[in-house]
Chains A and B, each alone.
Chain A
Amino acid sequence: MSESVVQSGRPARSGSDWRLQAGQWATPVLIAVLVCLPFAVTGSWTYTLGVCFANSIGVLAVSVLVRYGGEVSIGHSFFAAVGAYSVAILEHRLGVSLLVGLPVALALGVVSGICFAWPSRRLSGIYLAVSTMALALALPEIINNADEWTGGFEGLYVSRPVVSGVGMSLQRYYAALVVLVAVTYALARLRHSRQGLKLLLARSHPAAADAFGTRRVWARVSVMGISAGIAALSGATLAFASSTVSPSGFTLWSAIFLLVGSVVSFYGLTLPRALIGGAFLTLVPQLLSASGAWIPVLYGLALLAVILCGHYLPKIGGMMHRRARGVS
């Protein structure tokens, strides 16, 4: 029995060898292209791409929650705002740059994620999603009421350079790119770590995870902490990349679009997948901006197209592969 399985497993693995190798090279090549891109495109695209990278991190935050927690959030704009305002307020009050703001944002994001996850640890599915929505709904009011710190409706500017002597537009682009690459790298490591394995088992078989010493509450709180920390990083990066923070950037709609980006990227945690999700938040609206009133319709069509392609292309590819093998 074991022989037959192993033998049927082996050709499949060698057959996908080239794909595996292509996969190994895809990410470094993509990073190299992104590093060179500012020298090939105009300034406004550099700006847009920086914002796109920041949004890609936000998409990753939602995807982590789906992948490792099996939960959906429509309130991640809250955690993004925690990160964004950490950076902005630190710059205004203490005059420190993103280098200090980013770790603070991460820490506050993780703490706020845990603070939210602990009372909601017994909620799941639609109930958890709706309770995250409460966060997103409450947020603009909180920001407006704390206007002494947050600048209220008008928001705050983020303009302190990370390194002196380099143009701000390049800094905005590269800082966002570095954070995005670092987050995808850390997530790739998490997947193979002891904690990552335990979280994945806790998602698919909570009772089995219990039997191997992984408490469900620990798993839920950890996943929300990680996810919120990444969301805070995305907010912090967004604040720096777009040079401003205001309540209008962190509404229920922004949270929903983070979820849309996550769905479009099929909850992928790799750099290319995150970029697809981020592009749907940033680049697609920009590309469609000439279409005026048709924007929502075209956006919807683009969404459908990506989801249907993502769903059917692998199946069609598999069919072609089988047919090709059958002929040879």
Chain B
Amino acid sequence: MNADAATLQGRGISLSFGGIKVLKGLDVEFRPGEITGLIGPNGAGKTSLFNCLTGAYRPQGGTITYAGEPLGGLSPAARAGKGIVRSFQTVALCPDLSVLENVMIGLSRKFHAGWLDAFLPLPRGRRERNAMREAALAALADLGLADAAALMPGQLPPGMQRLVEIVRAIVGRPSVLLLDEPAAGLNNAETRDLTRALRNLATPDLVMVVVEHDMDLVMSICDRIYVLNFGEFVACGTPAAVRNDPEVVRIYLGSDDD
């Protein structure tokens, strides 16, 4: 019951743009304590599924529940309030804020200082700001980015910007973490750092979903993998099972029979 309580579930999710069916009645289950991989060729519908889960898209059919509670009517911001956090395929850091401040935004839902604290030098606002700053610094240090805290995002290479974005997503200790191609643009060393960080992140309560093209990363961290093609799941299972699935091999490597 307890494990079931914190599961992110989709039943019959279908989404279409105009006449084009992007998702065709998907049933998914993302369990806490597991890292679930979502793979598939470009245009398979991975990001669309993410957008349905976070509320950026409203699917035409199906239901999405988290911890047994339907999310259908909730806005993206309201879902974020429930601890459902995502990262983006393209880097979405604010260029006017320092790296540290960008990470602090990831903590903001845990703090409650009001407008008066924003404008006036009140003790509560200062206390919260210091707490946010320290937590953000600690999170940056975990990924080896402590020295970059005072820099602006534009001063970092793309790979590090992506790491910063992931720190921003995980710093608030989300209950559901959806990572959209976290390793895109990272070099080997950065990918290794990221792999380690994601493994360390897994807790019994956290639902983690990773969309990724880097098969080494997916195979090494995921407990379960969904393979999506043309809006349908063609396989689901452990990395070993998925790797040996003939349909998956055909999609990824092509087949002589075609």
Contact = CB atoms under 8 A, between A and B. Distances in A.
Interface residues of B, number: 51
B64 interface: no
A197 B101 contact: yes
Nearest to B113: A194
A186 B121 CA distance: 9
A113 to B, nearest CB: 13
Contact of B77 (A186, A192, A204, A213): A213
Contacts of A192: 101, 129
B249 interface: no
A193 B127 CA distance: 11
B252 interface: no
A186 B115 CA distance: 11
B254 to A, nearest CB: 35
B190 interface: yes
Q: Which of B54, B96, B144 has the most CB of A within 10 A?
A: B96
Interface in A173-219: 186, 189-190, 192-198, 200-201, 203-205, 207-208, 210-215, 218
B120 interface: yes
B121 A189 contact: yes
Interface in B76-104: 76-77, 80-81, 85-86, 88, 92-97, 101-102, 104
Contact of A207 (B75, B92, B93): B92
B156 interface: yes
A2 interface: yes
B160 A208 contact: no
Contact of A213 (B94, B109, B132): B109
Given A194-B108, A201-B94, A212-B108, A2 B118 contact: no
A5 B129 contact: no
Interface string A1-37: 1100110010001000000000000000000000000
Contacts of B95: 204
- The interface centre, meaning the residue of A186, A200, A212 with most chain B CB atoms within 10 A of its CB, is A212
B40 interface: no
Contacts of A211: 54, 76, 80, 85-86, 88
Interface in A91-118: none
B190 A212 contact: no
Given A197-B97, A212-B106, A2 B88 contact: no
Contacts of A215: 75, 77
Contact of A195 (B80, B106, B118, B121): B118
B1 interface: no
Nearest to B82: A213
Given A1-B189, A9-B155, A210-B56, A196 B118 contact: yes
A196 B105 CA distance: 10
Contact of B81 (A194, A198, A203, A213): A213
B257 interface: no
Contacts of A1: 157, 159-160, 187, 189-190
Contacts of B121: 189
Contacts of B80: 210-213
B150 A193 contact: no
A263 to B, nearest CB: 18
Nearest to B186: A1
A2 B144 contact: yes
Given A193-B125, A194-B118, A213 B97 contact: no
B119 A190 contact: yes
A189 B94 CA distance: 18
A5 B119 CA distance: 34
B115 A194 contact: no
B105 A198 contact: yes
A5 B148 contact: yes
Contacts of A203: 94
A31 B229 CA distance: 65
Contacts of A201: 94, 97, 102, 105
B205 interface: no
Interface string B133-159: 000000000001101101100011101
B117 interface: yes
A218 B78 CA distance: 12
B247 interface: no
A1 B162 CA distance: 14
Contact of A194 (B77, B97, B129, B145): B129
User: Which of B80, B148, B150 has most chain A Cβ within 10 Å?
Assistant: B80
B128 interface: yes
B159 A204 contact: no
8 contacts: A1-B187, A2-B144, A196-B118, A207-B76, A208-B93, A212-B168, A213-B77, A215-B75
Given A5-B160, A211-B85, A215-B75, 5 more contacts: A196-B118, A198-B105, A210-B56, A211-B80, A212-B106
Interface of B: 54, 56, 75-77, 80-81, 85-86, 88, 92-97, 101-102, 104-106, 108-109, 111, 113, 115, 117-121, 125, 128-129, 132, 144-145, 147-148, 150-151, 155-157, 159-160, 168, 172, 187, 189-190
| Cβ-closest 3 pairs across A and B | A193-B118, A208-B92, A213-B80
